[in-house]
Structure 1
Amino acid sequence: MDEDSHEQVVPGSDEELNTPDVQGYEFRGEFDFHDLLDSYATTGFQATQLAEAIDIAKQMQEANATIYLTCTSNIISSGLREIVASLIRRGYIDVLITTSGGLTEDVIKTAHPFKMGEWDADEAALRERGINRLGNIFVPSDRYVWLEEFLYEFFDEFFAEESVRTPTAFAYELGEALDDENSVLKQAAEHEVPVYCPALTDAEVGNFLYYYRQQHDAKIDIKLLDDYERLIEGGMDADTTGLIAVGDGVPKHHAIMTNLFRGGADYAVYISTGMEGDGSLSGAPPNEAVSWGKIKAEETNYTQVQAEATLVFPLLVAGAFS
């Protein structure tokens, strides 16, 4: 046997690793859900990342951190809406940052449910039927007809005394007007959790504000800088901050960008399917934010779970917040 080639194929090793053994849940005896989650730490791959995320979310609570939750609109489109509302109702979230679609879809769901659909649908036929597709969720267009009527009545009161308002005021007063315990905005208003929406016009709200201003009052406007200042100063006043970013885009970046002013967030958990290779913010992992000073550089204070949120966010909440 050629000794050189044998060394290439079976090089051997002298070092004994002192890390835990890879081992998963055995499903022996009585099932224990939390034991299952604990086993993720030594399962490997994204299960181990989720175990890290659960641990960091627990550290946030132990440190009495100001916890920011950021989410994109598809989180509210899905059944994760109820989980977000629950976290706010139970006092775990101090700041919510979301998108305009997150606001509008929360409002719609207080009166009209979204419906289960299918991924493989005839898109042209759906258009003819007046059905909008969000993945395998169907949203009939009559929901948006209702939304327009609801918002027009809301706008009359919202702009009655002040013609220039902020997105946080918009979200708060919307929440006060809603009657649904599973509404994210209602829970946020009741528990005084500010809801920031830096891209308020990027959904039906923007369309209806445009029409409303054209038809009713050219002086109405939405201003952003007051909210930005409030968000920055809130972070600077906090002793410790923790971020849980469910999805990417503007909400995630708004959270880490405003934490830059205080020297970075103390803890961060990302749940993301974004790809780092295109250089986008959506694909940027938390260690890239460290290079910008948006997250503090510690060994165990941040992690990313590369997975679709409906699969892992409920497990994170069950493991860290229940």
Structure 2
Amino acid sequence: MRVSQINVDKDMKIIDLINQFDQSGVLGAGRVARACNILTDMINDEEMRVFMSLGGPLIPGGMRNIITRMISEGHVDLIVSSGANITHDLVEAFGGSHYRHEGKDDEELNQEGIGRIADINVGSDDFTIFETEIIKIFEKISKDKKTLSIQELLYEIGLLVEDENSFVAQAARNNIPIFAPGLIDSMIGLQLWIFSQDHDFVVDAVADMHYLSDIVFEAEKVGAILLGGGLTKHYTLASNVIKGGLDAAIQITMDRPEAGSLGGAPLEEAKSWAKARCGSSLASVVGDVTVIFPLIYAAALDRIGSD
């Protein structure tokens, strides 16, 4: 099949551009189009449970409203998040913000109490508010519950968060479970450890596997949206080994495969481990999640709306 040259027209919609990518079918354009096609099919397939993994600074990077919308629209059934994305979601839920980096020297930022993530700044005052508010929530939860899984803890936190733009809150209200296997490696994990020093309050990470395995076994099919790599990607893949692997998946990552990291591994590699089924629909896109995923999700919404 010939490579079609990409056309760009005045006033064209995002879906029109993605369709041009699809007709080209090669290089980054082809991979983005295939990811959009698979994402649309996953959302439209009523028998498929869609898992989403959130790795990297997605909430500080402006992806919060998109994730929250996917939850409220029923386009995702389960989330695996880093502790950092949960923390930053709650920072905003408690009134904090993330700011554009204005180019100051990092030692100067340190003196001003500002932390930097690439070109994103977060103030220590916002984290102070976060620490105060999350301890209040831990206090409320621990009055009735002494031992919880991580997923149960995040559900209880979500019920107590009033910000409707919070993905943690929306997940709780829509009964979408959030798993965070690396929760302790974050500010919320640090506050949880501090709280547990003088409270009878235990979070059992192993208990999550009972609930997660039930979800996998009961699903007719499982698809995955893997944003970023690392632990959240692996937890999503590995949880499906028990049933032969994912039926469909897309991943968007900036990681490269040469060093053998999981984050840079193409999804085809997962077939060798039975983390993705042989014959499954897979697409790996090398690029910035904050650019590519909004494009393909917007195009998928156009397609879903026109069906």
Find the counterpart in structure 2 of residue 113 from structure 1.
97
Give the SS at the match of 1:132.
strand
Judge conservation of contact 2:15–2:300 (CA < 8 Å) in 1: no
1:203 aligns with 2:191: no
Give the total of aligned pairs: 299
Find the counterpart in structure 2 of residue 273 from structure 1.
254
CA distance in 1, matches of 2:301, 2:245: 24
Find the counterpart in structure 2 of residue 150 from structure 1.
133
Q: CA deviation at 1:228?
A: 1.3
What is the letter of the counterpart of residue 45 of structure 1? L
CA distance in 2, matches of 1:310, 1:73: 10
TM-score (norm 1): 0.89
CA distance in 2, matches of 1:93, 1:20: 35
Bigger shift: residues 239-248 or 160-169: 160-169
1:258 aligns with 2:239: yes
Tell me the alpha carbon deviations over residues 114-166 of structure 1, each in whole angstroms, 9 at most, x when there is no partner.
11114x43000000000111111110011111111111111111111222211
CA distance in 2, matches of 1:172, 1:226: 14
Equivalent of 1:311 in 281, 284, 291: 291
CA distance in 2, matches of 1:68, 1:22: 33
Q: Which has the higher strand share?
A: 2
Tell me the alpha carbon deviations over residues 218-272 of structure 1, each in whole angstroms, 9 at most, x when there is no partner.
x322101221121122111100110000001111111110111111110010001
Tell me the alpha carbon deviations over residues 17-67 of structure 1, each in whole angstroms, 9 at most, x when there is no partner.
xx1323102326x52332111101216321210100011112213332100
Give the SS at the match of 2:58.
helix
CA distance in 2, matches of 1:235, 1:291: 19
What is the letter of the counterpart of residue 89 of structure 1? S
Equivalent of 1:231 in 190, 198, 212: 212
Find the counterpart in structure 1 of residue 305 from structure 2.
none
CA distance in 1, matches of 2:56, 2:169: 17
1:169 aligns with 2:149: no
Give the SS at the match of 2:240.
helix
CA distance in 1, matches of 2:196, 2:236: 30
CA distance in 1, matches of 2:157, 2:29: 38
Find the counterpart in structure 2 of residue 14 from structure 1.
none
Give the SS at the match of 1:176.
helix
1:125 aligns with 2:96: no
CA distance in 1, matches of 2:145, 2:98: 34
Give the SS at the match of 1:76.
coil
Larger Rg: 1
Q: CA deviation at 1:208?
A: 1.2
Find the counterpart in structure 2 of residue 103 from structure 1.
86
Structure 1 residue runs of 5 or longer lacking an equivalent are 1-18
* Identity of matched residues, %: 26
Mapping of residues 133-148 of structure 1, within 5 Å = 133-148=116-131
CA distance in 1, matches of 2:243, 2:178: 20
Structure 2 residue runs of 5 or longer lacking an equivalent are 303-307
Find the counterpart in structure 1 of residue 271 from structure 2.
290
Judge conservation of contact 2:56–2:228 (CA < 8 Å) in 1: no
Give the SS at the match of 2:9.
coil
Q: CA deviation at 1:197?
A: 0.7
Name segments (4+ residues, structure 1) moved above 6 Å: none
Find the counterpart in structure 2 of residue 20 from structure 1.
2
Give the SS at the match of 2:159.
helix
